[in-house]
Amino acid sequence: MPTDRRSAASLLAQTKPFRGLPAEVIEAFAERCQLRLLHTGEALFRQGDSVAALYVVGVGRLRAYGNRAGSEQALGEIGALETIGEIVMLAGERHTATVRAVRDSAILCLDREALMTLLRQYPEALLQLSQVVVGRLLDRLRNPDPGPPGPRTLCLLPATPGVDVRALGAQLQACYGQLGRVCLLDAATVDAALGAGIAHSRFDDATNNARLVRWLSALESDYSYLIYLADDQPGPWARRCMRQADRILVLADESSGSARPTPMLRLLAETDVEAVIAVALRLERSALAGSDPLGWCQAAGAETHYFLHDAQSVPALARSLVGQAVGFVLGGGGARGFAHLGLLRAARELGIPIDLIGGTSMGAFIGALHAEGRSVEEITELMRETFVQRNFLNDYMLPRVALLRTRKFRQRLGSIFGERRLEQLATPFFCVSTSLTRGVAVVHESGRLRDWVGTSMAVPGIAPPMVWNEELLADGAVVNSLPADVMRQFGRGAVIACDVSSDTALRAEGVSGPDFDALFHWTGLSPRPGLFDILLRSATLSSAGSSRGQAAHADCLIRMPTAGVGLFQWKALDRLLDSAYRHALVELEAFKPRLPPLARG
């Protein structure tokens, strides 16, 4: 980023505190600015420091950390053209957080005394800065957890020699071209612009390193996105790509062999980076079941993984990397969960992508089938065979632990899913169970599908809990029947939640009582509650209210028309699917314009 007055003025003019001010005012502030370069991991200031300056992020990304309960926790990220320090400066307080560079960054610094002098000289600037501060405080009140700004620089890193990152880079470039200008950057491009060998300059080569940093900074100002293509051999250019990135995507394919700490991944481990790291495995769909994504994640120090297995995989990856994906959350509700089939059908018809999916209980079952790549029609027939045409829930036993042994149902899940694991699914998937031991929700992202889907559906009293690591795990709906909060925590983009719970209250309409025998000689106007109804209602009572609170975590909450359908009324499948489809079509069509740009199709 050039340090001359004109460039500083151009940068200030794009920030909220200075946008729209007269040119001579902006130039007066620009004249007093100094440039500061921060290396990855370097602190701009620390919690408790006195305020020395107002900072403007010209290039790069920073992260704020706060000391809570004796440990440092990430509070949020600060991207290009954002300002830092104006609130505590005007309040006369010390810094309330530590701010460090997530990657190599260029910061404009406006000394506190110089700033105060200029604000007295130009009251219109003081007024605008005050408005920005008040607006930011109001935003914090309205949305205390806004999430980090979208990443603008991406490093594509080959896990092993011979892995082609250029083809993926070109595909991502085409995707992000819908949002702005995109630059695909490799060592040859750098050398062509600055001279042979410059791309491989070492960081301790002061002259060439400074020249390269300024050129890359200028590119970042000119383009909306930069995609760095690392060499397939470890070296200075690969290391620079890592340090310049907001996101690092490690790419492996069939030629990469088994998951292991390759020389490139060892370089990554040795490099001081704070970027989010993910793994992408380019495999045929038929090879997913035998893949080892967790092994590659461990070798790369990655938080998550993606599969590139067909033409739709790259757009889904592109959306996820910049926080423009669409996640679907399917709630629990017994037979009412068939309504999720209508949602999936409506989403397909409207062209709304399902980039990741998760659920509880019946929502977990249907979500897992979709994540495997099965069509709505295939899932519908599996539901029909499992719950309508055949009865896999009739292995009653002496109720010492539960009414059903559920061995037949677990065998049914085994015949459907086999040995398939959650982490091997084409679409990212999670399901939720409840730890009866600790009274908390447990999120499952890995392990055998048949185990965790079955656990997520194990209603206490009806089905026996799963014993795992000295804990008893049961139906996720006991504490969280609609885990939109879990999906939100992934931070991938929009969250669409489907609530099928309707009104689960048990009623005895027409019966006044008190009468302990009323259920035995039923005369009420409403259907008589059965044992399963009573047990299910008792088991999920605590999450009934929390599902309503999940609306705060969903960008689109669809409450399906399930009234009148019993929790075990399996024969309502077709009727419920049809009404849910029509309802979801209206709701999703209304929401579609609010989807992230890359998800609108």
Catalytically active residues are 361, 475
DSSP β-bridge partners for residue 356: 327
- Identify the helix (H) or strand (E) that includes residue 580: helix 573-591
| Contact indicator for 67, 75 with CB cutoff of 8 Å | no
| Both tokens assigned to 327 | 């996640």
Give the position of tokens 């925590």: 489
Token pair in block for residue 391: 């009865």
The Cα 475–Cα 457 span in angstroms is 5
- For the chain, the first-to-last Cα distance in angstroms comes to 35
Look up residue 462 and give its two tokens: 């009806």
Give the pairing type, strands 53-59 and 83-84. antiparallel
| Token output for 583 | 């309802």
**Spatial contact of 511 and 524, defined as CB atoms under 8 Å apart:** yes
DSSP secondary structure string for all residues of 121-143 = H-HHHHHHHHHHHHHHHHHHHH-
Task: Look at phi and psi of residue 100 and say left if phi exceeds 0, alpha if psi is from -120 to 50, else beta.
Answer: beta
- How far is the C-alpha of 601 from the C-alpha of 583, rounded, in Å? 21
Q: Please give the Cα distance from 219 to 227 (Å, whole number).
A: 11
Alpha carbon of residue 575 to chain centroid? 34
